């Protein structure tokens, strides 16, 4: 723990001195080493900080006395504890294209980062307040990463959002692809076996798809109305991630959810509510508010499960086919070519 504290203090000092690149490099390297050790401790049965924190959060969520199905979904989405979800419910999420909600990753870490920045928005009005906001946000991101089990997908997301936070504080353009590639390189140096992990491949391809595809599509449909733009942004993120992972999903699982593109904006919205309400309760389990948090999480989760179940029952909503390795590569080449054409067209349009 003393080592983690020392690294955190040095990173905070570097941010304060505005040595942004050095701060991110140190954060990237030390966080990856620490997360790898934490994950190894858990695998070897040693418990680890992450497992202890996750158990503590789970115990607090148990105080809400949610019904079994709701509790299992809430704990899976908010803190990454998904052992209790029954096979039928898992299958519904898989067939509907919403299985990514049940594994804490970039979406969930992004929700935490967004909420912290939103709650601390007024700090930007005071001297060096934007620096304190970023320090608090980065601490919150890594606390959540450990709280959610410290899996490789969570650590990847924490590293990327920490880099984005530092870039945001430095008022520099956030080059997501470079941070993504840097994260991948360091993690593969630490553990080359990650390259064979399906979750590793899917999460990186999904994030890369969002970074590469989102902005051109969003600029193409952007309107003068903020509410419409927010809706479009949610839809486009779902489309970008779905397009990016579809060839890999087909290759590994032999099916692709067509309705997942429509479903994702809805379940992303419900995931925001579930993560926010769950973490608020974990941090401040006030007995007088037990009923309120119980009802919010129950209603939101039941609505989400209903939408997922209805989508999963639509047989035409799933395309069953399996791409071999070469076909997968060709599809990605075609998608890349299409994207380049679209980007060139949008550039001329501007």
pLDDT tens, residue by residue, 57-80? 999 999 999 999 999 999 999 998
Q: What is the pLDDT of residue 94?
A: 84
Q: In this prediction, what percent of the chain has a pLDDT beyond 70?
A: 78
Distance CA 228, CA 31 (A): 38
Which of residues 278 and 100 earns the better pLDDT score?
278
**Long-range pairs of 97-101 with CB within 8 A, sequence gap ≥ 24:** 97/242, 97/257, 97/259, 97/260, 97/261, 97/263, 97/264, 97/311, 98/260, 98/263, 98/264, 98/267, 98/308, 98/311, 100/206, 101/76, 101/77, 101/267, 101/271
Q: What is the pLDDT of residue 6?
A: 47
Percent of the chain with pLDDT over 90: 17
This prediction has a pTM of 0.76
> Which of 16-30, 242-256, 281-295 has the lowest average pLDDT?
16-30
Mean pLDDT across 154-167 = 75
| Every domain of the chain and the residues it spans | 2-196+274-317, 209-258+320-350
| DSSP output for 92-126 | HHHHHT-GGGGS-SHHHHHHHHHHHHHHTGGGGGS
Helix, coil or strand: residue 334: helix
Q: Write down the residue that tokens 């299409």 correspond to.
A: 338
Q: How confident is the model at residue 195 (pLDDT cuts 50, 70, 90)?
A: confident
User: In the predicted model, what is the mean pLDDT of residues 91-112?
Assistant: 84
Which residues fall within 8 angstroms of residue 261, CB to CB, at 6 or more apart? 97, 235, 238, 239, 242
Rounded to the nearest 5 percent, the helix, strand and coil shares of the chain are 80, 0, 15
């Amino acid at each position: 723990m003393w080592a983690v504290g020392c690294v955190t203090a040095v990173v905070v000092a570097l941010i304060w001195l505005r040595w942004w690149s050095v701060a991110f490099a140190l954060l990237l390297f030390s966080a990856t080493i620490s997360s790898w050790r934490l994950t190894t401790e858990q695998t070897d049965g040693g418990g680890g900080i992450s497992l202890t924190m996750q158990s503590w959060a789970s115990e607090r969520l148990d105080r809400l006395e949610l019904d079994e199905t709701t509790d299992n979904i809430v704990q899976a989405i908010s803190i990454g504890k998904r052992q209790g979800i029954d096979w039928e419910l898992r299958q519904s999420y898989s067939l509907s294209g919403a299985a990514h909600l049940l594994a804490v990753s970039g979406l969930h870490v992004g929700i935490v980062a967004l909420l912290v920045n939103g709650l601390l928005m007024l700090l930007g009005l005071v001297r060096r307040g934007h620096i304190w906001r970023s320090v608090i946000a980065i601490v919150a991101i890594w606390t959540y990463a450990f709280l959610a089990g410290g899996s490789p997908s969570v650590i990847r997301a924490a590293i990327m959002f920490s880099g984005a936070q530092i870039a945001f504080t430095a008022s520099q353009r956030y080059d997501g692809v470079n941070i993504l590639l840097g994260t991948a390189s360091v993690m593969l140096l630490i553990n080359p076996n990650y390259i064979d992990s399906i979750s590793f491949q899917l999460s990186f391809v999904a994030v890369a798809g969002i970074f590469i595809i989102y902005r051109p599509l969003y600029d193409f449909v952007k309107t003068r109305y903020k509410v419409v733009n927010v809706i479009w942004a949610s839809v486009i993120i779902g489309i970008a991630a779905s397009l990016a992972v579809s060839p890999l999903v087909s290759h590994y699982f032999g099916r692709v959810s067509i309705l997942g593109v429509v479903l994702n904006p809805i379940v992303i919205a419900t995931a925001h509510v579930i993560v926010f309400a769950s973490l608020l309760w974990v941090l401040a389990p006030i007995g007088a508010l037990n009923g309120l948090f119980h009802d919010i999480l129950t209603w939101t989760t039941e609505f989400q499960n209903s939408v997922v179940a209805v989508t999963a029952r639509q047989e035409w909503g799933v395309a069953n086919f399996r791409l071999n390795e070469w076909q997968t590569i060709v599809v990605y080449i075609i998608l890349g070519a299409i994207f380049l054409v679209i980007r060139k067209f949008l550039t001329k349009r501007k």
